[in-house]
Amino acid sequence: MSKEGLYGLWNWFDSDSWYPLGRVVGGTVYPGLMMTSSIIFWFLEFIAFPVNIRNVCVFIAPVFSGLTALTTYLLTKEVTAKSGPSLFSALFISIVPSYISRSAAGAYDNEAVAIFALVFSFYTYVKATNTGSMLWSCSSAFAFLYMVACWGGYAFIINIIPIFVLSMTFISWDDRNIYTSYSIFYILGTLLAL
């Protein structure tokens, strides 16, 4: 993708795999990881930082694990409004063994960026619910789009957020911020995911 671009990825046909039929790679992979790597590579080339695409791929998992810890801190800070629990949550996400195995240098797998996208989607949605801002609602929809492009676990987001809204409805929590943020997130997020 770094050589041929996004159009080249979508039209890539691998005749060596699934022999003798071959495989249309562009239509059977989640392109988020490759797009992220290529965009970082192109940006570093643009600012004249000499780097090989292989080095970008090796270090993408540790960089995104650091971003995940930061986003986990921000999510917990948004929910609790306290720094202590936020630091503990960032610590806990950084020492979870299953996440460490997916965020080590050289672990070029979808989960490397998808866990960040998952936590960032929840953070932007909670921020949208707390503020009632349409901008944060739109950013949560775009974070959801990034998650859809990265990993099949996007079903977690599109299932947990409606459960949250439904539970708020059952306990008679009449808050326009919830309705505004959910309406924008669901409609825009579904359209973008298509």
- Residue that the structure tokens 């503990």 belong to: 88
- CA 23 to CA 3: how far, in whole Å? 20
Give the pLDDT confidence of 47-66 residue by residue, as tens digits: 999 999 999 999 999 999 99
- The answer to whether residues 112 and 64 touch, using CB atoms and an 8 Å cutoff, is yes
Residue-range domain boundaries for the chain: 31-193
Q: Which of the listed ranges 9-23, 103-117, 128-142 does the model predict with the highest average pLDDT?
A: 128-142
- List the single range of 22-26, 42-46, 116-120 with lowest mean pLDDT: 22-26
Distance CA 95, CA 68 (A): 12
Is residue 36 over pLDDT 80? yes
CA–CA gap between residue 95 and residue 123 (Å, rounded): 20
The pTM for the full model equals 0.90
| 3-state SS class at 21 | coil
Check whether 86 has a pLDDT greater than 90: yes
